[in-house]
Structure 1
Amino acid sequence: MQRITKGKIEEAHATGDDGEAARLQEALSKSENELADKLKEIKQLEADLKKKPIEVPATVTIEKVPEAIEIELAELRTKVSKQANAEFKI
């Protein structure tokens, strides 16, 4: 963009169109200022990212086993352990 605009500014000066050259120079200056502002903003955002880690809320899902199932599991475990003990005695 800058090359094209600088070339057009030189061309406008060469043809004697000072109004067009001034307009193009102003557009070029505005673009350069916007570019500088955006580069500063990018550097600031990069610094912010490096400075502070991204906070992600921890989602912990705790599933509660129903009490009836816990009781049944306990009974089954005792049965299995009794059967295992009985088999070793034989």
Structure 2
Amino acid sequence: MTTARPLDSEELASTAPERELLEAFIDAYRDVVIAKLRGLSEDDARRGLVPSLTTLIGLVKHAAVNPLESWRTRLCGLVLQDVGG
């Protein structure tokens, strides 16, 4: 009896069910953001580095909230007024 090997990312992208694939991409992008910010001080994370008001901490907040809101509104059929919290 042979054991199945884990799928590599290309195989997963071409064969995984849609929800599993979406969750994997969200997790991967979240991991990238965490890796890029690891070791920064809070002051560095809050410092504005571009002419807009975008900060690194703002990107973290967006990465934390946006996938959840997308799940609730697009996949569950809720409108923003129905989404609490």
Calculate the TM-score normalised by the size of structure 2.
Answer: 0.38
Higher relative contact order (CA 8 A, sep 6+): 1
More helix by share: 1
Q: What is the TM-score with the length of structure 1 in the denominator?
A: 0.36
Structure 1 or 2, whichever has the larger Rg, is 1
